[in-house]
């Protein structure tokens, strides 16, 4: 299913297998700084391209692992936090949207890009941003943890998050825009591509953003991050949740 999406993204936006490999290289580099990551060994573009084909254009190193792990977040009301003088970061926006189950019907929602993009994810981000009062995510978001279980899906997740124009993520990835030290670090933890404890993988995205805007992410800290976004996927690449978290 997501190999087909990758082919469509190639056709629409010029993504190549090398571009997909760059996502894996970036995320593995980030994961090497994260003691909680599963796959921490750094790799090269050539390593990724030489890995076993799964379903073209997706190769083994373009795929997430099956990890073991857990995650927890403590939630409380604003009133409780302030009355008890607790340290906290704030969820300022959240939303959920879903696609139709049948892949062929998804083209009707966005006939320009069809299966290349994640239309419902983009709608969820727009709703979360409206709740959080964000009008220009490209300039107002400092860090992102996006649920991208395959290297090619990180591109349309970045696009859906509004961190660039649709399809522009390919060129920006080549320029290092989404790396630690870049303009908007994406998946500084290494992301789903490096750790995928399936039952909690989406929660980990939110927890990582909380740590980032709190300034407590350790070696994989995005410097100066004060507002971030997280996303989670479910179903047949069909159900999407988004969250805005601020210091």
* Dihedral angle over CA of 154, 156, 162, 164, nearest 10: 80
Q: Strand pairing of 90-98 and 239-246? A: antiparallel
Provide CATH code, domain 2-246.
3.40.47.10
Angle, in degrees to the nearest 10, between helices 119-132 and 151-160: 40
What pLDDT, in 10s, does the model give residues 192-242?
A: 999 999 999 999 999 999 999 999 999 999 999 999 999 999 998 999 999
Q: pTM for the full model?
A: 0.97
Q: How far apart are CA 53 and CA 12, in angstroms?
A: 22
Query: Does residue 137 carry a pLDDT above 90?
Result: yes
User: What is the per-residue pLDDT across 160-195, written as a single tens digit (0 to 9) for each?
Assistant: 999 999 999 999 999 999 999 999 999 999 999 999
Alpha-carbon distance of 190 to 205, in angstroms, equals: 10
Residues 6+ apart with CB under 8 A from 139: none
Q: What's the pLDDT tens digit per position in 35-44? A: 999 999 999 9
Tokens 């690449």 belong to 237
Please, what is the end-to-end C-alpha distance for the chain in angstroms?
37
């Amino acid at each position: 299913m997501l190999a087909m999406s990758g082919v469509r993204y190639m056709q629409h936006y010029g993504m190549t297998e090398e571009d997909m490999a760059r996502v894996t290289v970036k995320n593995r580099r980030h994961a090497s700084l994260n003691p909680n990551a599963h796959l921490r060994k750094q790799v090269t573009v050539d390593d990724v391209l030489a890995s076993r084909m799964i379903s073209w254009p997706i190769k083994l190193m373009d795929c997430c692992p099956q990890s073991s792990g857990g995650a927890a977040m403590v939630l409380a009301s604003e009133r409780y936090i302030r009355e008890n003088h607790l340290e906290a970061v704030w969820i300022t926006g959240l939303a959920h949207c879903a696609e139709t189950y049948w892949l062929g019907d998804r083209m009707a929602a966005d006939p320009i890009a069809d299966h290349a993009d994640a239309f419902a994810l983009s709608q969820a981000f727009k709703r979360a941003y409206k709740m959080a009062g964000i009008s220009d995510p490209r300039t107002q978001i400092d860090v992102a943890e996006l649920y991208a279980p395959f290297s090619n899906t990180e591109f349309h997740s970045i696009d859906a998050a509004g961190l660039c124009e649709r399809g522009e993520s390919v060129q920006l990835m080549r320029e290092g825009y989404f790396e630690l030290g870049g303009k908007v670090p994406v998946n500084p933890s290494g992301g789903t591509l490096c750790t995928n404890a399936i039952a909690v993988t989406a929660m980990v995205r939110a927890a990582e953003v909380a740590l980032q805007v709190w300034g407590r992410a350790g070696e994989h800290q995005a410097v100066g991050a004060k507002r971030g976004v997280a996303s989670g996927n479910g179903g047949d690449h069909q159900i999407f949740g988004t969250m805005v978290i601020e210091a």
